[in-house]
Amino acid sequence: MSDYNFAYLDEQTKRMIRRAILKGLAVPGYQVPFASREMPMPYGWGTGGVQVTAATLTPDDTLKVIDQGADDTTNAVSIRKFFQRTAGVATTEETTKASVIQTRHRIPEAELSEDQVLVYQVPIPEPLRFLEPRETETRKMHSLEEYGLMHVKLYEDISQHGDIATSYAYPVKVEDRYVMDPSPIPKFDNPKLEMAAIQLFGAGREQRIYAVPPYTRVVSLDFEDYPFEASKADHACDLCAAGDSYLDEVILDDAGSRMFVCSDTDYCRSRRAAGHVGRLGEEAA
């Protein structure tokens, strides 16, 4: 019980997943059902992303795994270890050196290239799910391009709160056709969804794969008078002084003092290596 196939899954299963990926790339934003396998990690912990990565990896790939933007969060460590053990591929924490990046909840700050694949872990792939719990109904709505319900929801947000009250997993429309859940990334990341790399989304428990090919148009839903706004904490990183990165807020003491740090640990590290110093940068070093 120690010998597994390369990247754990058997070749037949990988072929089945690759077919779903190709279909997803051919119909951007469309959720392709696939016969998701039981993985040795729990559903909800990245089984979809892991299956997509397993079907994508070749022995020459270099893999990076992040969770909340960071390489050293426990689940990222666990998934990286899984592929080190079952695929023996090289791993890296440097965004630019990775050929496949599996992520949960973030898009890296550094711009990705045509040589890279970004694999997202997706909990609930259906953007309409919390408006309509039935899969039979939501599939019908997608096929008829019937997205009125979503616009009504956004409108009701505005009438109630004065703003669209969605801050992550902010719905997008792909290539003017399918409304898609970009996975629970902060809406700050939404503009980055138009990129040079291939983006693959895997939802294991919900048995769905979808994709955004390179340079595909991805528009965050909004209204003319309430345009989409990619927001972040109004601070600079306290370690590397970056003003353009998504920030985590960290509570420092009982008195409630805070600091803000890049959620993308590799971005922060490379900036500090290049000599950028934030408000609390030296103390942290």
Taking alpha carbons only, the member of 69, 58, 131 closest to residue 265 is: 69
Categorise residue 54: left if φ over 0, alpha if ψ from -120 to 50, beta otherwise. Answer: alpha
Neighbours of 98 (CB within 10 A): 25
44 binds another protein (CB under 8 A): yes
> Which listed residue (24, 49, 237, 278) is catalytic?
237
227 binds another protein (CB under 8 A): no
Of the residues 49, 123, 127, 171, which one makes contact with another protein according to CB under 8 A: 123
Minimum Å gap between C-beta 37 and another protein is 5
> Which residues have a Cβ under 8 Å from the Cβ of 147 and sit 6 or more positions away?
128, 141, 173, 179
- 268 classed as catalytic: yes
CA distances from 80 to 4, 85, 134, 154, 209 (A): 16, 9, 34, 37, 21
Q: Are 60 and 228 in contact (CB under 8 A)?
A: no
> Which listed residue (29, 46, 48, 281) is catalytic?
29
Beta strands at 90-91 and 62-67: parallel, antiparallel or unpaired = parallel
Task: Give the bridge partners for 102, in sequence order.
Answer: 65, 119
152 binds another protein (CB under 8 A): no
Q: Are 58 and 88 in contact (CB under 8 A)?
A: no
Stretch that binds another protein, among 54-62, 98-106, 110-118, 211-219 (CB under 8 A): 98-106
> Which listed residue (48, 49, 262, 278) is catalytic?
262
Stretch that binds another protein, among 52-60, 102-110, 193-201, 214-222 (CB under 8 A): 102-110
Of the residues 24, 25, 29, 34, which one makes contact with another protein according to CB under 8 A: 34
- 240 classed as catalytic: yes
- 256 classed as catalytic: no
248 binds another protein (CB under 8 A): yes
> Which residues have a Cβ under 8 Å from the Cβ of 29 and sit 6 or more positions away?
173, 174, 175, 177, 178, 179, 180, 210, 212
67 binds another protein (CB under 8 A): yes
Comparison of 191 and 214: residue with beta carbon closer to another protein: 191
42 binds another protein (CB under 8 A): yes
35 binds another protein (CB under 8 A): yes
Comparison of 97 and 134: residue with beta carbon closer to another protein: 134
188 binds another protein (CB under 8 A): yes
Residues that bind another protein (rule: CB under 8 A) add up to a total of 67
Minimum Å gap between C-beta 253 and another protein is 10
Reported in sequence order, the residue ranges of the chain that DSSP labels E, i.e. its strands, are 32-33, 62-67, 90-91, 100-104, 117-121, 172-174, 178-180, 198-203, 208-212, 218-220, 247-251, 258-262
Q: Are 171 and 29 in contact (CB under 8 A)?
A: no
CA distances from 229 to 16, 168, 191, 237, 273 (A): 38, 12, 9, 20, 31
Comparison of 2 and 60: residue with beta carbon closer to another protein: 2
Q: Which residues are catalytic?
A: 29, 237, 240, 262, 268
Interface positions with another protein (CB under 8 A): 1, 4, 8, 10, 33-40, 42-45, 47, 67-70, 72-78, 81, 104-106, 123, 134-136, 161-163, 165, 167-169, 184-188, 205, 207-208, 231-233, 246-250, 252, 259, 261, 263, 265, 280, 283-284
